[in-house]
Amino acid sequence: MSEVLTAPLVVEFPFTRSLGPVVGAFLTGLRERTVLGVRARDGRVVVPPVEYDPVTADELRDLVEVAPTGTVTTWAWNPSPRRGQPLADPFAWVLVRLDGADTALLHALAAPGPDAVRTGMRVRIRWAAERTGAITDIACFEPAEGAAGVPREGANGSRRGGADPLRGHNVDGRGGIPGEGDPGGGNPGRGIREGDVPEGGAPEGGMREAAGGPQPAPHSGQFDDPVTGITAPARLDYTYAPGRAQSRYIQALAERRTLGERCPACRKVYVPPRGACPTCGVATGEQVEVGPRGTVTTFCIVNIKARNLDIEVPYVYAHIALDGADLALHARIGGIPYDQVRMGLRVEPVWTEGARFPDHYRPTGEPDADYDSYKELI
Amino acid sequence: MPEPVRGPVREVAVVAFGQSAHVPDSAETSEVEMLMPVLHDVLAQTGLKARDIDFTCSGSSDYLAGRAFSFTMALDGVGAWPPIAESHVEMDGAWALYEAWVKILTGEADTALVYAYGKSSPGDLREVLTRQLDPYYVAPLWPDSVALAALQAQALFDAGHTDARELAAIGARSRGDRPGAAPGRQVVGPLRTGDCPPVVDGAAAVVLAAGDTARRLTARPAWIRGLDHRIEAHALGVRDLTDSPSTRLAAERAGAFEAPVQLAELHAPFTSQEVVLRRALRLDAPGSTVRINPSGGALAANPMMAAGLIRLGAAAAAVQRGEADRALAHATSGPCLQQNLVAVLEGER
């Protein structure tokens, strides 16, 4: 139906990030099946921990250990998991307030269906078999009805716990140490490998009894072989469409023609055309064939070999004002030693069989162009 | 400490607003091809030429295009040579309008062109938007934009602030459907297709002008009486998703509560978010006659990075047409109403 071209475009990058003392301790802790939070000056425990208080901006460094069990504060049923998400089967997204924490952590909850999920339900961490120090070391949460240590739905307003997570909540003291009755190795003390006990002493359990109920125990945040950085791969898939003007340009190239577009106001011919005159801010509708010959207006000598590019260095990359164009395009110069390329050199495109654009430009053998003829295009 | 300045130090008004048709797929047009007719429209409304504009500011996101510095391509449409005074925000154009407003308040400019555009069709919007999340704790889980909004909707259900029936009614009103229209299939529960915005491509533009320049350019300027924006904590788990304190604070600072408004354009991409905003902005008072989103809002058309600017433009246009003497406009950016901007617009008193 249309002359418009499209092509797949993949943007993919392994973002590497350094972590710092708080995020690094948290992610190292996950590798060791230990969940750390950070205590704010007002006593709130923020999990996952942040380096600066979200309310006061105070620097936060006092790490504490919280339990691998917690309460769902809100949830959403995901019937069609997407690429990169924690579980391949339908699951619930959950915000979970871990026992001992005052804020919630986002993750996935493995559940057979939405009827098995509710706000206030008790859940526990399912650890990934292989852990590297990343949020994905938590494979997901799983239901843990009966796991002790926290208010159940309806108790202490926990059903509405999501409504005001910044306000401290009461732990009701019914259970005490989280992890009890947890057959999955949820007791964080068990997650620490032998010989790996951090300086300052790892707590026996995630929390200690104190007046008013169990309290998260201080944690040094020290681990052997701490994780200091993460690599987070990211991939996004696009279908690139260059629009009308550039589609016409690319299609003409396939016929070994170079198409510019003329501005109706200033009469300049742009190549490659992008559909608008950047001087006048109006559409450039009139197509004009330019070249094939042109003049080198300026150039540089490339001494660094590009990966996946089979061109011997050094070579010359140049701006070329095609005959009839008011804007220079850029291309590689071949067919002449690199140190003999000069401003004013007359060149023509060299096409290789089946190519959709010129491979490079080579000298035509004509006399060099006068400087005055191209000085406005440099 | 000096007393804060109360009220704008200079009169600034919206004098023109334009937007493109919003389409699900604009593969036939590049960003600049989509944008240019809108720019010409707002300039024609004021009789200004691009050369006459003192300051240009735009909002867009390279992640939608999948290309670095893609916004510089769009600059061809405003005539950026010889050089102009120009700036760009990597977010909704409402924040570009804020920057332009400040530029005029400082006396650096008398006129400003603000534009925004988004082409979501080249990529998968739900995945693209995960890239704005916390890169350590959240983005590696790839929670998509609908999932995060659904967590907020469930929190509202649990708090007793709304239910599926009310959300369906908000969706139907926004799209102009008959009341009781089917809410659609579940996307991420509890949200259904009817609760979620359409994914469209589009562009919008606004012209701002100061004082007598504004009066010269249009019969009835829409004066910006107040404009403020605020932000919530980045981590979703430390926020109360049922409330929007940042919207309330921005509204207070913009003077929104000083007198009733007749019309409110709310940037609520999801039905549930309109509930949060109406509460934060106190629009649900008994007997209230405030018209909410007569434009249909983001649920009718949600071009990313332009939908917030469109709320400001639509509210201003209603003032310019004399349909309201005092209107409120709101824009949001980020997941679950993370960042919020509120403007109060008035006709000549």
Residue B259 has pLDDT above 90, yes or no: yes
- Check residue A152 and report its DSSP letter: P
How high is the pLDDT of residue B222? 98
How many Å apart are CA A330 and CA B161, to the nearest integer? 60
Chain A CB contacts of B122 under 8 Å are: 9, 238-241
Among B32, B138, B154, select the one facing A75 at the smallest CB separation.
B154
A278 and B235 within 8 Å at the Cβ level: the answer is no
Give the nearest partner residue to B32 out of A164, A240, A276, using CB atoms. Answer: A276
Q: What is the pLDDT of residue A78?
A: 98
Between A169 and A248, residue with greater pLDDT? A248
pLDDT at position A170 over 70: no
Q: What is the pLDDT of residue B4?
A: 61
Tell me which of B72, B151, B270 to substitute to probe the interface with A (most A C-beta atoms closer than 10 Å).
B151
How far B51 CA lies from chain A's nearest CA (Å)?
A: 9
Q: Scan for tokens 């649990």, then name that residue.
A: B158
B288 compared with B48, residue with greater pLDDT: B48
Q: Which of B27, B141, B186 sits opposite A135 (nearest CB)?
A: B141
Confidence of residue B268 (pLDDT cuts 50, 70, 90): very high
- Total beta-carbon pairs less than 8 A apart between chain A and chain B: 221
Is B158 in the A-facing interface, judged by CB distances under 8 Å? yes
pLDDT value at position B8?
Answer: 61
pLDDT at A164 exceeding the cut of 90: no
Give tens-digit pLDDT for A188-209. 333 333 333 334 333 444 555 5
In this complex, the residue of A15, A76, A243 whose CB is nearest that of residue B154 is A76
Percent of chain A with pLDDT over 70: 81
pLDDT at res. A3? 72
Least confident of A74-88, B126-140, B174-188: B174-188
At A354 the pLDDT is 85
Furthest-apart CA atoms within chain A: distance in Å:
95
pLDDT per position as a tens digit, B312-341: 999 999 999 999 999 999 999 999 999 999
Partner A, chain B 272-331, Cβ-Cβ below 8 Å: none
The predicted pLDDT at position A66 comes to 97
Compute the nearest-CA separation of A210 from chain B (Å): 24
Q: What is the mean pLDDT of the segment spanning A326-331?
A: 93
Q: What pLDDT score was predicted for residue B7?
A: 56
Q: How high does pLDDT run on average in chain B?
A: 94
Tell me, what's the pLDDT at A2? 52
User: Which pLDDT score, from 0 to 100, does residue A147 have?
Assistant: 66
pLDDT at A182: 39
Section B15-23 average pLDDT: 96
Please report which residue ranges of A157-309 form alpha helices under DSSP H: 188-191, 243-254
Exposed, middle or buried by CB within 10 Å (0-12, 13-18, 19+), for A62?
middle
**Distances in whole angstroms, Cα of residue A220 to Cα of each of A40, A187, A200:** 16, 18, 6
Cβ separation of B141 and A108 shorter than 8 Å?
A: yes
At A217 the pLDDT is: 92
ipTM for this model: 0.93
pLDDT tens string B157-177: 999 999 999 999 999 999 998
Residue owning tokens 């980020």:
B334
Of A85, A108, A238, the CB nearest to B66: A238
Residue A95 has pLDDT above 70, yes or no: yes
Q: Maximum Cα–Cα distance for chain B, whole Å? A: 58
Cα→Cα distances A169→A53, A141, B236, B348, Å: 18, 21, 18, 50
* Contact assignment for A93 to B155 by CB distance below 8 Å: no
- Chain B residues with beta carbon closer than 8 angstroms to that of A54: 233-235, 238
B27 touches chain A (CB under 8 A): yes
From chain A, the residues in CB contact with B241 under 8 A are 74, 162
Burial code of B299-328, b = ≥16 C-beta within 10 A, e = fewer? bbbbbbbbbbbbbbbbbbbbbbeeebbbbb
pLDDT at A166 over 50: no
> Could you identify the residue written with the tokens 């509930």?
B275
> Cβ–Cβ of A162/B186 closer than 8 Å?
no
**Higher confidence at residue A301 or residue A4?**
A301
Question: Residue range B234-248: average pLDDT?
Answer: 96
- The verdict on a CB contact (< 8 Å) between A240 and B122 is yes
Q: CB of A338 within 8 A of CB of A323?
A: no
Q: Which residues of B touch A15 (CB under 8 A)?
A: 135
A127-163 residue pLDDT tens: 999 999 999 999 999 999 876 554 433 333 333 333 3
pLDDT tens-place string over residues B38-89: 999 999 999 999 889 999 999 999 999 898 888 888 888 888 888 999 999 9
CB contacts of B139 in chain A (<8 Å) are 232, 234
Cα–Cα separations (whole angstroms), residue B68 to A173, A311, B30, B71: 54, 26, 15, 8
Q: Do A275 and B144 touch (CB under 8 A)?
A: no
Instruction: Place A213 in a pLDDT band, splitting at 50, 70 and 90.
Output: low
